[in-house]
Amino acid sequence: MLFLKTALSAAAITMFIATGTLVAATGAASARMVCNDSGDCWHTESRYRYPGTGYVNHNDDWYFHQQWNDQRHYRDYHEGRGYYKSGIWIGF
């Protein structure tokens, strides 16, 4: 009976340590929103250096707290690296 208790305790401690290691190794999501001076906003997974000036990076949840209208346009996700300029996708 003592052997069974010891084995179960060891297994529980091992699971606890493994779970903690997994949680610590998992990084935060890197998704973000980028907006330019033209009012184009889009999702991106990385922080890029865009040509020119007037690009602002926001946290991903920023999207949900915005009013989308004639001055600010949410653009659909686009494959590959690039940016929007006046509503047109320009790839790197």
In a domain, 53, yes or no: yes
Assess contact for 75 and 41: CB atoms under 8 A.
Answer: yes
In a domain, 60, yes or no: yes
In a domain, 5, yes or no: no
In a domain, 23, yes or no: no
pLDDT of 8-37, one tens digit each? 455 555 554 544 444 444 545 568 889 999
Q: Which residues 6+ apart lie within 8 Å of 40 measured at CB?
A: 73, 75, 84, 85, 86, 87
pLDDT of 35-85, one tens digit each? 999 999 998 888 888 888 899 999 888 888 888 888 888 998 888 889 998
pTM for the model stands at: 0.61
Residue range(s) defining the domain that contains residue 71: 32-78
In a domain, 37, yes or no: yes
**pLDDT at res. 36:** 92
Task: Please name the helix (run of DSSP H) or strand (run of DSSP E) that holds residue 41, with its range, or none.
Answer: strand 40-44
Number of domains forming the structure of the chain: 1
**pLDDT at res. 67:** 80
In a domain, 64, yes or no: yes
In a domain, 36, yes or no: yes
Average of per-residue pLDDT values in the chain: 76
In a domain, 59, yes or no: yes
**pLDDT at res. 56:** 92
